[in-house]
Chain A
Amino acid sequence: VSILQVIVLVNQMEAEGVIARYAVGGAVGATFYLEPVATVDVDIFVAFREQPGQLLLSPQPVLDYLLARGGILEGEYIVIAGWPVQFLPAPSPLVEEALAEAVTVDVEGAPARVCTAEHLAAIALETGRAKDKARLLQFIEAGVLRAEVFQSILARYNLMERWRQFEQTFLGGRP
């Protein structure tokens, strides 16, 4: 079982037009920039293709595609190559931008599209669970964030106040 198999299959799904675009997020996305972050699942943000005559976007074409290729449906997940994978439509304008501006990284010859470190950090701040805060701290400690890019994302998505609170709580007000 391998995450790389998941990425290859999602690339194939995009190439065949089942989804419009994807970007790896969550702990797996963070692992592209940080030390490996143990996780039980793979989060993939997707832009679904609009189906003619349908007002609501449906994940059905994605499910049909993956089930036909050995995927197994388990609750909110579809298990591919042993990994529970969640396909998530962008839940906020910030994630929409993260999806649009995701970068392609070569993984042993396979292109993998992943959210930028700054977007992943901003999403962690926006989501705000304990594990997200821990991940944001990892990004800061690793020094992988481009400060100007990160600050401009925070400003665009009204996250400055939340960032100030985070700074005061975890960084002792350090800029």
Chain B
Amino acid sequence: MTFDLKRSLEGKRALRRKLANLPVAKKLAMLDALRDRQHTLREAARHSQSAALSESHAGGEAKMTGSEPITLDQPR
């Protein structure tokens, strides 16, 4: 690891080249995994939102103002 920006950018390019050169089947499997991850994040966000909504419907104190950070492990 380095804090040298030039070397960091070269490292990024090298990683992209390495990924691009993987067998197609492996790259498609990575797309599957990326999509699963996005799906998980979306579901978690949806649960967080519905939990926040039900808390706000339940009564004043727990109401979200919109400024709180939303985390994936919010209590429901």
Chain A residues, Cβ within 8 Å of B32: 1-3
Q: Given that A1-B32, A3-B32, A83-B35 are known contacts, is A36 also in contact with B19, CB under 8 Å in the complex?
A: yes
Are A107 and B36 neighbours in the complex by a CB distance under 8 Å?
A: no
Residues of A bordering B, CB below 8 Å? 1-4, 27-28, 31-40, 82-83, 105, 107-108, 112, 141-142, 144
Main secondary structure of the interface of B (DSSP, over half): helix
CA distance A36 to B39 in the complex (A): 17
Chain A contact residues: over half helix, strand or loop, or mixed?
loop
Q: What does the 1/0 interface line of B4-17 toward A look like (CB < 8 Å)?
A: 00000000010011
- Known A38-B38, A39-B35: A3·B28 in contact at CB below 8 Å: yes
Which of the four size classes fits the interface of chain B?
Answer: 10 to 19
Asked whether B24 lies within 8 Å of A36 as measured between CB atoms, the reply is no
Cα distance A20–B40 in the bound complex, in angstroms: 36
Minimum CB–CB distance from B39 to chain A (whole Å) comes to: 8
- Bound Cα distance A4, B23 (Å): 13
Chain B residues close to A by CB (< 8 Å): 13, 16-17, 19-20, 24-25, 27-32, 34-36, 38
Judge whether A108 and B31 touch: CB under 8 Å: no
Report A-chain residues with C-beta under 8 Å of the C-beta of B28.
Answer: 2-4, 28, 31, 36, 107
State which of B17, B31, B38 has its C-beta within 8 Å of the C-beta of A3.
Answer: B31
Nearest-CB distance from B67 to chain A (Å)? Answer: 29
Contacts of A108 in B (CB 8 A): 25
- B20's nearest neighbour on chain A, judged by CB, is A35
